[in-house]
């Protein structure tokens, strides 16, 4: 059961190229148990068809304010009363301007005036339009009215420009929706607690252009950071190199295992909980060539490796360690290796996943975990990593609070 199970989400789609992402967004929301109804502007229908959105949502799509059939059933007032959350994605500069001015000249803009439900928007537009003074003033006004803004992201745009203005991707929007309802409905189990999370891979340099690394994307660690924030924690993320949007917390970027170890130990004494989610290289080259190593006629190249410091073991070995949670990414005998790692490193808890399973773990959007602690175990079924993160943080919070109260 997720935070959005049985929640009624009204998805408003406006006329931007990012409208094509709404089919995946709707699918992801319904996978988490939400009921989704879709309202489209006339311009939105130029980018994606109502039939497509009906197919993925399982509900008829509304797009006309003056549709007699709609008024006889789910008219604009009924739509407005039905929703637990109104999400406008993508929200174009034009729609944002209309919304700010209170214009109600189509079904979606009328709904936004008529609904008592909270409203969130995911801006999507050209980067110059986004940074225009009028758009920024409109967004500032909406924030003052308690309208939630998710995004935009920055990057390459359909027009060829590069900059802020991209709609955040569907998985990030699902995470935002889950976290929104978590914050509204669940107790702040970690309110005021300081949590440090390591995320992503490390890179161990061979020479100035080559390095040894692994397949970690950082998605699990970043999802944990978002989940921890939703439970009220003050979060620090020590992150290896990833291609993810920054989370709204203290972010320390590092490259190598030595960098990560130094960053963690510099601030660990301020932490209540430490979660070692990063895929840290166990070994690094003993020496780093100052110049690029040239290919020779030899069929072999020998790189002598030495062991990196064990970050999670270093934290757990402190005189007064925080509540320390490890991760075990295994390809066989998952429970055996996970329990052994927990005992050897004196961890309070460990989350184990089988990265040999297709579609979960490294570089995947989904994950499944078996969580062990000295007094028990729990299974977290395969789901989007944002959903898995919320469930894992709830387990961690429960055990942390039990330990600190005993």
Q: Which residues are catalytic?
A: 159
Alpha-carbon gap, residue 399 to 272, rounded angstroms: 13
CA dihedral 120, 221, 3, 76 (to 10 degrees): 20
Strand partners, 32: none
Residue 288's nearest CA partner among 209, 220, 226, 206 is 206
Alpha-carbon gap, residue 271 to 327, rounded angstroms: 18
Strand partners, 207: 210
Q: How many CB atoms lie within 10 A of CB 42?
A: 13
| Contact status, residue 66 vs residue 38, Cβ threshold 8 Å | no
Which string of b and e fits 341-376 if b means at least 16 CB within 10 Å?
bbeebebbbbbbbbbeeeebbbebbbbbbbbbbeee
Alpha-carbon gap, residue 128 to 317, rounded angstroms: 52
Residue 152's nearest CA partner among 237, 214, 90 is 90
Alpha-carbon gap, residue 378 to 389, rounded angstroms: 14
Alpha-carbon gap, residue 330 to 197, rounded angstroms: 20
Longest dimension (CA), the chain: 80
Residue 324's nearest CA partner among 333, 332, 315 is 315
């Amino acid at each position: 059961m997720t935070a959005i199970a049985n929640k009624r989400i009204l998805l408003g789609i406006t006329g931007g190229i990012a409208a094509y992402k709404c089919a995946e967004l709707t699918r992801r929301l319904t996978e988490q148990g939400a009921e989704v109804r879709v309202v489209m502007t006339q311009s939105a229908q130029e980018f994606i068809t109502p039939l497509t959105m009906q197919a993925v949502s399982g509900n008829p799509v509304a797009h006309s304010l003056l549709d007699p059939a709609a008024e006889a059933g789910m008219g604009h007032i009924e739509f407005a009363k039905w929703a637990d959350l109104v999400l406008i994605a993508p929200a174009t500069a034009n729609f944002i301007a209309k919304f700010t001015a209170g214009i109600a000249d189509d079904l979606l803009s009328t709904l936004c005036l008529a609904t008592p439900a909270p409203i969130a928007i995911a801006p999507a537009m050209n980067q110059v339009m986004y940074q225009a003074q009028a758009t920024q003033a409109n967004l500032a006004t909406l924030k003052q009215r308690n309208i939630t803004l998710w995004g935009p992201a920055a990057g390459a745009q359909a027009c060829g420009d590069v900059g802020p203005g991209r709609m955040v991707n569907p998985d990030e929007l699902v995470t935002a929706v889950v976290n929104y309802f978590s914050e509204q409905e669940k107790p702040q189990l970690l309110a005021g607690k300081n949590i440090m999370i390591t995320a992503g891979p490390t890179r161990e340099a061979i020479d100035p252009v080559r390095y040894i690394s692994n397949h970690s994307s950082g998605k699990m660690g970043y999802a944990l950071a978002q989940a921890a924030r939703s439970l009220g924690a003050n979060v620090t993320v020590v992150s290896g190199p990833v291609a993810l949007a920054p989370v709204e917390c203290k972010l320390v970027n590092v490259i190598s295992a030595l960098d990560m170890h130094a960053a963690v130990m510099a601030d660990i004494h301020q932490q209540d909980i430490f979660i070692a989610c990063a895929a840290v290289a166990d070994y690094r080259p003993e020496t780093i060539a100052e110049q690029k190593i040239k290919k020779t006629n030899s069929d072999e190249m020998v790189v002598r490796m030495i062991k990196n410091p064990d970050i999670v073991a270093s934290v757990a070995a402190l005189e007064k360690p925080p509540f320390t949670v490890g991760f075990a990414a295994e390809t066989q005998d998952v429970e055996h290796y996970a329990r052994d790692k927990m005992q050897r490193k004196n961890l309070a808890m460990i989350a184990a996943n089988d990265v040999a399973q297709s579609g979960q773990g490294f570089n995947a959007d989904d994950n499944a975990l078996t969580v062990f602690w000295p007094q028990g175990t729990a299974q977290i079924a395969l789901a989007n990593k944002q959903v898995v993160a919320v469930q894992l943080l709830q387990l961690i919070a429960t055990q942390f609070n039990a330990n600190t109260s005993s």
